[in-house]
Amino acid sequence: MISSKLLFIFIDFSEMQRVGSAKQGSILDKSLSRGKTEVNFSSFALLFAEMIRYANNRSNTVGDLQDKLLGYGKFVGSRLLDVIVLREKGYKREIKLLNMLMFVKGTIWKNLFNKEADKLERSNDDPCQYLLIEKEPIVNTYISVPKDKGNLNCASFIAGIIEAVLEASNFPCKVSAHWHDGTTYIIQFDRLVIARENSLLELTR
């Protein structure tokens, strides 16, 4: 089972105005303050597969397809952050980089997938680069990549969610999904983010 938030925003993305019977009304009419619920994975898998097909039909290269999935993820991520900040943090947002990354690894992942991401690491070679590792991304569970698609990783959609959440929280970055230890999301922060973080550390000493 996965969190209903991802399906909720997917439905918004697909402009589906009704779920279930007419008496239930639109899912978009439901209060943002309601508690978490779960949806069957097959419902998510079906909608995600259709989204990939839609993007693939409008892409000329693997790069185009991944960029489209990233863009769809950013659409979801920007809305997801508002919902979670309202429900769980009382409009308070993180200002420290490590706290924000742990928020993504923990709170964001739990709200989407009912579990934390597997690992968070900082690159040894680049102080602006962090690695978020997920051994078995749920979005890749039933995805079979054709030979002509090479190293396509449909978790680019999740990379878009991460990028949107961080950017909307004033941590500008670029995020990409790669096949390594399952899937590794490479988060490349703007150097201004690291400079700001160093300044905050100096103030707390």
Q: 101 or 88: which carries more pLDDT confidence? A: 101
- Across the range 113-138, mean pLDDT stands at 95
Superfamily for 2-203? Trafficking protein particle complex subunit 3 (3.30.1380.20)
- How many CB atoms within 10 Å of residue 175? 27
Whole-number average pLDDT of the chain: 84
Query: Which of 19-28, 128-137, 177-186 comes out lowest in average pLDDT?
Result: 19-28
This prediction has a pTM of 0.82
pLDDT tens track for 136-160: 998 888 777 777 777 889 999 999 9
Contacts of 193 (CB under 8 A, 6+ apart): 97, 128, 171, 172, 173
Question: Residue 68's pLDDT is what?
Answer: 96
Q: Which sequence spans correspond to the domains of the chain? A: 2-203
* Residue 86 structure tokens: 């309202």
Asked if residue 83 lies in contact with residue 149, where contact means CB atoms within 8 angstroms, the answer is no
The single-letter code of the amino acid at 107 is T
Contacts of 21 (CB under 8 A, 6+ apart): none
